[in-house]
Each structure stands twice: as C-alpha cells, then as structure tokens.
Amino acid sequence: MNTDLESGRTLAQALSDGLASDFAHEVVLFPPSPFLLAIQEIANGNSNIQVGSQDVYFEASGAYTGQISTSMVVSTGAQWNLVGHSERRHVFGETDEDTNKKVKVSLEAGLTPVLCVGEKLEEREAGQTEEVCLRQLRSGLEGLSSEEIAKTVVAYEPVWAIGTGKTATPEQADEVHRAIRADLVNLASQEIAAAYPILYGGSVNEGNVKELLAKADIDGALVGGASLVPDKFLAICNWDR
C-alpha cells in the first residue's frame, strides 16, 4: 500500500526510461489496483514491462465491496496477479483454500498467477520450512493439470525476511527452491519442473540480488521495498550488466 497516482506514474516511467534497449529480462510491476490502468499505459510503451494486480477475489462479481475481480484486472490490460502473498495470509487471514481458488480463477481469466509461499520465523526455527512451503505449494496448485501448472509462477518469500532487512542466505533460499522444483516434478512433470520459474522474495536489494540469482534454482526476484526507489529497482533489474 504505497505511492499515489502521481508518484506511481513517476516510478513506472523512471523504470521504463532506465531500461536499456537491449534489456533481456522480464519485469512485472504490481501497483495498487486503483493505478493499474495508469501504469499499464506506461508499460504499453516498453515491451520489457508488464503489469499485474496485487490480489484478486475468487468470485466473478457481486456483493463483495472492496474486492477486485479477475475480469476487472484483465480489462485494464494487466496480465499477472499475486496470489497468497504473506500479508494476505497472515494479516488478512486468507487460507490455503482461498489461495487455491484465486489461482484457478486467475488461470481461467488468462492471468498468470504468482503463487507466494513461505514460512514464519517460528516455523523455520522449528525445522518446518520445507513442510510449510510444500504444503502451501501443493494446496495452491491443487486440482490443476500439468498444463495449467506450467502457466503459473511460484515465489518463495520467507515471512521473517520481508521488510525486515533480513534475507535468507543464497544457500538457504536455493535449498527451498530446490525442494519446490523437486515437488513440481511430482505435481506436473520433469520437463515442466526444469523450466518452471521460481522467484525469491524477502529484502531483495541491489547488494544481494546478484548472489541470489547466481544460484541454480533461483530464477528471479519478487522485489519489495527496493522497488519503490527507481535507482535501486533499476540496479536490481540490471543485476547481470
């Protein structure tokens, strides 16, 4: 819940202007829902940038005041959405079942859902990291075909590392990513698992992104606070330049 319309536009424009013409990566911006259309208009001018919603509701329409449907998101031109972000789970009390419904309606609408999974500090200290993450992964993808799973993305975001300045070490993050990829073999197939994008989120910044993305099973970053500072976000996007 950051930026207003003007500062959101300024941020997106700075990013668009700062990406080199030969930029080779994919960037998705997830602005607050009131600004989706405005940010999409800026993204339309840069083929490297796409736009997504921070959340969707799992009903198509009706008396759900304050919620945003997949059709609303699609009508802005956005192509992605976050599902099961830790704040949705732990601040707003969303369940694994809610998350699964949101993944399904996203796919039905043609959106790419980014399914977020991650453990709290007490769960990590209790040795439950893999158990928690794989439970969230399996429940989030429950009922999907292999082909549908291939149209999703997973982001591992340890709750204890979000906005705290703490970051999982590259080795800790890669270990969880490796477990997720191994589970995707069973949920989908070896071929899908090998090509599947798994992102890391949790205090990613311009100082640690290169070391994180050097790991074999970390394919990208879900950037939080650093994405609000154009120079920092651009440095993260250009991590390999």
87, 157, 177, 206: the catalytic one is 157
Task: Give residues with Cβ within 8 angstroms of 195, minimum separation 6.
Answer: 150
Amino acid in the structure at residue 72: M
DSSP result, 56-78: --SSSSSS-TT---HHHHHHTT-
90 is catalytic: no
Residue 126 corresponds to which tokens in the numbers above? 């209790």
Going by C-alpha positions, the residue among 79, 155, 75, 146 that lies closest to residue 110 is 79
In 3-state terms, the chain is what percent helix, strand and coil (to 5)? 45, 10, 40
85, 87, 94, 119: the catalytic one is 85
59 is catalytic: no
Long-range contacts at 58-66 (CB < 8 A, ≥ 24 apart): 58/98, 58/101, 58/102, 58/104, 58/105, 60/105
Question: Which sequence positions are flagged as catalytic?
Answer: 85, 157
